[in-house]
């Protein structure tokens, strides 16, 4: 019993070491310029260990992206959970999203590299299960009148958040984007309640 648990722990440690090394190198050099020998050297594992856990470099990259997306969603959920009103939850979630995207390399990984490497549909699917899912739930609570427009509104606002994160990453004034998000949400609520 202890032996198998120890093996599972070692297996998970190896997998996590590969993900951590992959993330570090993908951020530093980009996906295309990162070679698998560098990944295994940085992780301190063998090439066989890499291919035991991941089919190829792209599969490792996908695992990195999934971890990053889960971290963003967790940050949003943690911050918005303390709010009572749906609007306050969405505003807090927006702020948490921008904070989470400030992690070194995260904007590049999630918004630039992921669509290029995994394709826009796969990248969007990962987002749909994570940050976009929190946005959808918040919009559903704040805008129960949205009905069939909930999905398109979620998709459009998610894209707006992503564009804002890219702009903030390159030096745009974050508070202006947070104010714009509040104006958009209030405008949507006013329009749907008419």
Q: pLDDT higher for 187 or 9?
A: 187
29-39: average pLDDT: 97
Q: Determine, yes or no, domain membership for 145.
A: yes
Q: Determine, yes or no, domain membership for 139.
A: yes
Q: Determine, yes or no, domain membership for 187.
A: yes
Residues 114 and 30 in one domain: no
Q: What is the pLDDT of residues 150-186, one digit of tens each?
A: 999 999 999 999 999 999 999 999 999 999 999 999 9
Q: What is the pLDDT of residues 77-93, one digit of tens each?
A: 999 999 999 999 999 99
Residues 95 and 126 in one domain: yes
Residues 157 and 81 in one domain: yes
Radius of gyration of the chain (CA): 19
Quote the domain boundaries for residue 1: 1-54
Residues 6 and 89 in one domain: no
Q: What is the pLDDT of residues 100-142, one digit of tens each?
A: 999 999 999 999 999 999 999 999 999 999 999 999 999 999 9
Residues 136 and 189 in one domain: yes
Residues 71 and 99 in one domain: yes
Q: Are 192 and 143 in contact (CB under 8 A)?
A: yes
At 5, the pLDDT band (50, 70, 90 cuts) reads low
DSSP annotation string for 135-158: HHHHHHHH-GGGGGGHHHHHHHHH
Q: Determine, yes or no, domain membership for 134.
A: yes
115 contact partners, CB below 8 Å, separation of at least 6: 123, 124
Q: Which of 119, 118, 154 is nearest to 139 (CA)?
A: 154
Residues 25 and 111 in one domain: no
Q: Determine, yes or no, domain membership for 127.
A: yes
* Residue 106, token pair as written in the block: 């995260």
Query: Which residue, 10, 27, 54, sits at the end of a domain?
Result: 54
Domain count, the chain: 2
Q: Determine, yes or no, domain membership for 60.
A: no
Phi, psi of 55 (to 5 degrees): -60, -40
Element (H, E) at 44: none
Q: What angle do CA 167, 96, 190 make, to 5 degrees?
A: 80
Q: Determine, yes or no, domain membership for 108.
A: yes
- What's the CA gap between 138 and 44, in Å, rounded? 42
Residues 127 and 188 in one domain: yes
Give the other-Cβ count within 10 Å of 42's Cβ. Answer: 17
The pLDDT score that the predictor gives to residue 1 is 45
Residues 47 and 71 in one domain: no
The CATH number given to whatever domain includes residue 5 is: 1.10.10.60
Residues 50 and 98 in one domain: no
Q: Determine, yes or no, domain membership for 45.
A: yes
> 3-state DSSP call for residue 92?
helix
Q: What angle do CA 124, 125, 126 make, to 5 degrees?
A: 90
Residues 21 and 91 in one domain: no
> What pTM, to 2 d.p., does this model score?
0.91
At 6, the pLDDT band (50, 70, 90 cuts) reads confident
Residues 125 and 86 in one domain: yes
The DSSP 8-state label assigned to residue 125 in this structure reads H
In the chain, alpha helices (H): 2-29, 36-43, 47-53, 57-80, 86-100, 106-107, 114-118, 120-128, 131-142, 150-169, 174-193
């Amino acid at each position: 019993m202890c032996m198998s648990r120890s093996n599972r722990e070692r297996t998970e440690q190896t997998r996590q070491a590969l993900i951590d090394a992959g993330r570090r190198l993908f951020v530093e050099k980009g996906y295309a310029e990162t070679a698998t020998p560098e990944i295994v050297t940085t992780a301190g594992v063998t090439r066989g260990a890499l291919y035991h856990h991941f089919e190829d470099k792209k599969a490792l990259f996908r695992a990195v992206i999934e971890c990053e997306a889960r971290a963003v969603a967790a940050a949003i959920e943690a911050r918005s959970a303390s709010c009572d009103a749906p609007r306050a939850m969405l505003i807090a979630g927006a702020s948490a999203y921008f904070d989470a995207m400030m992690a070194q390399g995260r904007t590049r990984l999630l918004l630039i590299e992921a669509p290029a490497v995994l394709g826009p549909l796969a990248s969007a699917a990962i987002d749909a299960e994570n940050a976009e899912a929190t946005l959808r739930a918040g919009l559903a609570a704040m805008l129960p009148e949205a009905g069939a427009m909930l999905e398109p509104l979620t998709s459009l606002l998610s894209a707006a958040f992503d564009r804002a994160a890219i702009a903030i990453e390159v030096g745009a004034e974050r508070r202006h984007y947070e104010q714009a998000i509040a104006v958009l949400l209030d405008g949507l609520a006013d329009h749907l309640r008419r």
